[in-house]
Amino acid sequence: MSSPTPPGTKVAKGDTILEVKDLHVTFKGRVGLLAGLRGNKGTQSRAVDGVNLQVRKGEVLAIAGESGCGKTTTARAIMGLQPVDAGTIKYEGKPLPRNLKPYLRKVQMVFQDPTGTLNPRQTIYEIIAEGLRIHGIDRGPGGEPEEQLVAQALSRAGLRPPDRFFLRYPHELSGGQRQRVVIAGALVLEPEVIVADEPVSNLDASVRGEILQLLMKLRADLDLTIVIVTHDLGLAWTVADRVAVMYLGRIVEIGPAEDVLLRPLHPYTKALLDVVPEAGGLERPILTGEPPDPTKIPPGCRFHPRCPVVVSGKAAELGIEAACRGEDLGLDEINPGHFSACHASRRLGARAHEAIVEAVAAIGREAGSEPGSEPGTDADGSPGGTSPGATAI
């Protein structure tokens, strides 16, 4: 029986509550016994390749990117679900202990597919109480019995009256209700942080807003910190305080949502923004090629083969083309709190935004890749190279 009251928070609002430092996750391709003995290591997929991230207490941080960019793997690593090759994760300033159980009470996860996440043989009551039972909690902070804690969590998640849901099975609920159950299952442990992996992408359009609304309301009421993994920048615009954009296992741009989404300083962010569907949007540039392949990370800036700034000749004009092709780089703080990992922004600072827009306009409808090249020849062509964990969809 652990203490009924969750230990008081030591982190003030706005300070770093969760920190990811130089995180590396590698997936190894399957190697046959004989090939392994001959020293064949198989293909190595660097799913997460040096991620640094600080999550501040009380904020909503969105991690965005294409599938295979490592965003889901990063989230899973934060949850201890993914063995890590290198790097540290710190919670409230301290590295994670060997026994993750106390940590996993304060940090909860909401998954993409609410149907698969609920055990079809358990009732809603059992599903919500599971977290309490795992952590040996049989009374709430005020001595409430389990039944009351479950009821509270359900009604917080908008499932009211809660007792009408107790003995139902997941298949009797709609998709939106199931996702609410998943959220209630996380809330019952009174977490500080919620990591949500594409929480609405499996839901019907009209229900999405509702679930996001719920998360926002919980953040306000319970002082939650939310990390939300998404491929949808529109969603980031609606809910996030800060946005981190990932490409090939690294964060390439991070900053306040308005800055990143309205004045991106990395050409990849610009490319992602250009494919958000809207009226007349098909006339805007679209990066050619399939999602990048984490088994073959290009040298130099990892985005340069698809980068409109390089392809348009803008990089040559700025005298940074050699750097783009040959020099790997980390995040620079361009504006206060707004970081970008791009040679153009390193050279031009905040004016890089205009340079990127110009470069994109110069190319016209097809951005990146040599013209006429086959879409996706050198990318994503060999399935099985990446572990399923590496892709978000």
Partner 1 sequence: MSVLSLKDVHITYHTAAGGVPAVRGVDIEVAKGEVLGLAGESGCGKSTIAGAILRLLPSRTKVEGSITLDGEDILSMKLGRLRAVRWTGASIVFQGAMHALNPVQRVGDQIGEAITVHNQAGEREAKVRVGSLLEQVGLPTRRAADYPHELSGGQKQRVMIAMALACNPSLIIADEPTTALDVMVQAQVLRLMKDLQRDLGLSMVFITHDLSVLVETSDRLAIMYAGKIVEEGPATSVFEDPKHPYTAALAAAFPQIGDRRFRGNPTGLGGDPPDPQEIPSGCPFHPRCPAAFADCQRTVPELYAAGTGRRAACLLVTGAHASTAEVTE
Partner 2 sequence: MQTPPITPGGDPNLTSGRIPESLAEVRSPRQIRRARRRRALSTFWAQYRKSKMGMAGLIILAFFAAVAIFAVFASKDGLDPTLVEGPRLASPSATYPLGTDSFGVSVLTQVIQGSKISLLVGLVASIMTIAIGALVGIVSGYRGGTYDTLLMRFTDFGLVVPWLALAIILASIIGPSLVTIILVIGLTSWPGTARLVRSQVLSVRERPYVERARALGGGNWHMIAHHVLPNVMPVILANAVLVVAIAILSETALSFLGLGDPFSFSWGGIIESAFNGHATTLGAWWWIGPPGVCIVLVVLAFTMIGFALDEIINPKLRER
Which residues would be at the binding site for partner 1 (CB under 8 A)?
66-68, 174, 176-177, 204-213, 216, 231-234, 237-239, 258, 261-262, 271-282, 286-291, 365, 374-376, 379-383, 393
Draw the binding track, 216-255, toward partner 2 (x: CB under 8 A; -: no contact): -x--------------------------------------
Least Å distance between CB 226 and partner 1?
A: 12
> Do 107 and 11 touch, CB atoms closer than 8 A?
no
> Do 146 and 138 touch, CB atoms closer than 8 A?
yes
Nearer to partner 1 by C-beta: 104 or 159? 159
User: How far is CA 191 from each of CA 161, 197, 241, 253, rounded to the nearest angstrom?
Assistant: 23, 16, 20, 28
Contact between 159 and partner 2 by CB under 8 A: the answer reads yes
Least Å distance between CB 7 and partner 1?
A: 30
Nearer to partner 1 by C-beta: 101 or 365? 365
- Among positions 302-341, residues that touch partner 2 (CB under 8 A) are none
The radius of gyration computed from the CA coordinates of the chain, to the nearest angstrom, equals: 22
204 binds, among partner 2, partner 1, none (CB under 5 to 8 A by kind): partner 1
- The reply to whether omega before 161 is within 30° of 0 (cis) is yes
166 binds, among partner 1, partner 2, none (CB under 5 to 8 A by kind): partner 2
Nearer to partner 1 by C-beta: 261 or 315? 261
Nearer to partner 1 by C-beta: 138 or 290? 290
Contact region for partner 2 (CB under 8 A) — 41-49, 107-115, 279-287, 320-328? 107-115
Least Å distance between CB 97 and partner 2?
A: 12
Tokens of 373: 């090249």
Contact between 2 and partner 2 by CB under 8 A: the answer reads no
Least Å distance between CB 135 and partner 1?
A: 31
Nearer to partner 1 by C-beta: 22 or 204? 204
What is the distance between the alpha carbons of residues 361 and 193, in angstroms, rounded to a whole number? 41
What is the distance between the alpha carbons of residues 72 and 47, in angstroms, rounded to a whole number? 10
> Do 4 and 132 touch, CB atoms closer than 8 A?
no
Contact between 117 and partner 2 by CB under 8 A: the answer reads yes
User: How far is CA 275 from each of CA 186, 233, 266, 365, rounded to the nearest angstrom?
Assistant: 33, 10, 15, 11
Least Å distance between CB 355 and partner 1?
A: 20
Nearer to partner 1 by C-beta: 105 or 263? 263
Nearer to partner 2 by C-beta: 211 or 318? 211
Count of residues binding partner 2 (CB under 8 A)? 48
Contact region for partner 2 (CB under 8 A) — 40-48, 182-190, 226-234, 253-261? 182-190
Least Å distance between CB 384 and partner 1?
A: 9
What is the distance between the alpha carbons of residues 244 and 390, in angstroms, rounded to a whole number? 18
Least Å distance between CB 86 and partner 2?
A: 22
Q: Residues in the site for partner 2, rule: CB under 8 A?
A: 79-81, 100-101, 104-105, 108-109, 111, 113, 116-119, 121-123, 125, 130-131, 134-135, 147, 155, 158-160, 163-168, 171-174, 177, 180, 182, 185, 189, 210-211, 213-214, 217
